[in-house]
Amino acid sequence: MTFYHIFRGIYCFLAAFVIGYSIFKKRKFDILVIYVFSSIVYFFPALIGEFQSFVFLEKGYTYKPQEIYYKSYLVLIINLMVCLVWMFMSDCRRHKNTYKKTMDLYLNDYESIIVVISEIVILCLNFILCYRLRNYIFVEKFDKTKLMEHMTLFDTLALNMSYYFFIISFSCKMRWKKVSMVIALLCISYSLALAKRSELVLGIIAVVYVWVTRNSESSLWELLWKRKYLLLTGLVFFCAVFLSKPVLNAAVQGDWKQIFMYFKRDGKLIESFIYSESNVITSNLNEILRLNVTADGDTYRFASLGFIPFIGTLSDSVLVPSDFYELYQPIVYPKISGWGAANCFLAEAVSNGGILTLICMVHLLCCTFIIMEKILYKNMNVFIKAGILAIMPQLAFYIHRNTLFYVIRTIRIFIYFSLVLTVIYILLTYKHPEGRYLKRDLTAGKSVGWYLAGNKRFR
């Protein structure tokens, strides 16, 4: 029996145990569960024992099955074991300290006005940006790489703001909620027009997290069984997301004939799962470890500078760390040109300092999840909480295909959004400071004006 069989058996057992513990154990649903599930999804080929590696030809490339390196299993085992330790500690702590069943996500009238007006502004901005990029979107041969090259900072901010307000509209209880939800859906559709799925998927993850925490009273399994039809709908959506990538460009162009021909081909649906993003991320981890690609701390050294806006422009890229993909791509995929193969957070950690760095990074991530949940359950500004909810899927789900610097550079945007909206809210309630503490009773239908008139029951 080889190291491969031993570590694969350990990993499969550990993955099954963690999934069973998360679903059947009577425990509070938390962000750690999302991270554990995402770890297993993004490295799904590890359960099978092989991935489809790239084989480059004179024109294009093909795939061939390749056995997973045993060190890849070691990294995945350590990742799950650290998560399991934090889950045990979190459950023990909750036995001593009871939590509220639901987080307070109520918007008063002032906050609702800010949200609706902001969404209208973003919607207008999205229409303008779509019109400006029309020659790269609505063309006969859609080229996503060329489109991304012509996107500006405002395009990126429009995508991020659409995602941020999508979470607020569908997670928070507020006045004019239906209007806000319709506008938020129109805003998030802008990302689909750019052939990007991530904003919609991550937004749904945040909304589902809030919904589960509000409705889960015991184990996750009992909630899923009560809402089995909703679960079935979620699984259909999950499959549709996996299958949408090969045909998303055609959908943007409205080329339904090409979409029909794609699904008509035998074996194409199965291939979409086999050659999905999880296969690429697993391939990255495997080959970086097998070829012993080392970064020697280069990609981590200045990663904290990612919190500084426009750091690349201000420093003429001197202080910006080198991208991990630029480091490993010439070694792992020397024949790739014109497109990227994404990154791998776990591989970057090992590359920057070995197993010890990996353990430290996963511990730091789990600790961050605990802190984020504490903030969500505290009585503070709802825009700050919305920022946490926007950051949560980036750290708990999307992180596996990214680098530390990219993650920091992304989450800083939502930190800035939250602070700016909080300042606007404070200025709006400047003459009525008591309004800042108002949490509207939606069932009673009382307005801010009624509250400020003298009745402070809802303070």
**pLDDT digits 0-9 by tens, 371-407:** 998 888 887 788 999 999 999 999 999 999 888 888 8
Q: Quick one: pLDDT at residue 55?
A: 72
Neighbours of 235 (CB within 10 A): 10
Q: Quick one: pLDDT at residue 58?
A: 66
Lowest pLDDT segment from 37-41, 116-120, 209-213, 450-454: 450-454
Q: Determine, yes or no, domain membership for 211.
A: no
Q: Determine, yes or no, domain membership for 282.
A: no
Residue 456 has pLDDT above 90, yes or no: no
Residues sharing a CB contact under 8 Å with residue 157, sequence separation 6 or more, in sequence order: 413
| For residues 159-170, average pLDDT | 91
Residue 438 has pLDDT above 90, yes or no: no
Q: What is the distance between the alpha carbons of residues 361 and 346, in angstroms, rounded to a whole number? A: 9
Provide the pLDDT confidence category of residue 441 given band limits of 50, 70 and 90.
Answer: very low
Q: What is the distance between the alpha carbons of residues 359 and 79, in angstroms, rounded to a whole number? A: 7
Write the pLDDT tens digit of every residue in 76-134: 999 999 999 999 888 887 655 545 456 778 888 888 888 999 999 999 888 888 777 77
Provide the pLDDT confidence category of residue 1 given band limits of 50, 70 and 90.
Answer: low
Structural tokens at position 316: 């003429």
Q: Quick one: pLDDT at residue 361?
A: 94
Q: Determine, yes or no, domain membership for 444.
A: yes
Structural tokens at position 457: 């029951």
**H helix or E strand, kind and range, residue 61:** strand 61-67
Provide the pLDDT confidence category of residue 432 given band limits of 50, 70 and 90.
Answer: low
Alpha helices by DSSP H, listed for 101-141, are 109-132, 134-137
Lowest pLDDT segment from 161-175, 184-198, 428-442: 428-442
> Domain range for residue 452?
432-459
Q: Quick one: pLDDT at residue 275?
A: 65
- Which DSSP state fits 138? S
- φ, ψ dihedrals at 378, nearest 5°: -90, 160
Q: Determine, yes or no, domain membership for 190.
A: no
Provide the pLDDT confidence category of residue 452 given band limits of 50, 70 and 90.
Answer: very low
- The average confidence (pLDDT) of the chain is 78
Higher pLDDT, 55 or 14: 14
Residues sharing a CB contact under 8 Å with residue 321, sequence separation 6 or more, in sequence order: 298, 299, 300, 301, 302, 303, 305, 405
Write the pLDDT tens digit of every residue in 286-321: 999 999 988 877 788 777 777 776 665 555 555 555
Structural tokens at position 174: 């507020």
Q: Quick one: pLDDT at residue 224?
A: 76
Q: Determine, yes or no, domain membership for 446.
A: yes
Q: Quick one: pLDDT at residue 322?
A: 61
Q: Determine, yes or no, domain membership for 355.
A: no
Residue 362 has pLDDT above 90, yes or no: yes
| For residues 262-276, average pLDDT | 59
The share of the chain scoring above pLDDT 70, in percent, equals 72
Q: Quick one: pLDDT at residue 152?
A: 74
| For residues 17-27, average pLDDT | 87
Q: Determine, yes or no, domain membership for 451.
A: yes
**H helix or E strand, kind and range, residue 238:** helix 228-253
Q: Determine, yes or no, domain membership for 453.
A: yes
Burial grade of 339 (CB within 10 A; 0-12, 13-18, 19 or more): exposed
Q: Quick one: pLDDT at residue 310?
A: 63
Q: Quick one: pLDDT at residue 196?
A: 75
Q: How many residues does this entry show for the chain?
A: 459
Alpha helices by DSSP H, listed for 133-217, are 134-137, 144-149, 153-171, 177-193, 198-215
Provide the pLDDT confidence category of residue 449 given band limits of 50, 70 and 90.
Answer: very low
| For residues 430-451, average pLDDT | 48
CA-wise closest residue to 386 among 354, 419, 364: 419
Q: Quick one: pLDDT at residue 296?
A: 78
Q: How many structural domains compose the chain?
A: 1
Q: Is 26 helix (H, G, I), strand (E, B) or coil?
A: coil
Residue 208 has pLDDT above 50, yes or no: yes
Q: Quick one: pLDDT at residue 54?
A: 74
- φ, ψ dihedrals at 98, nearest 5°: -75, 145
Residue 173 has pLDDT above 60, yes or no: yes
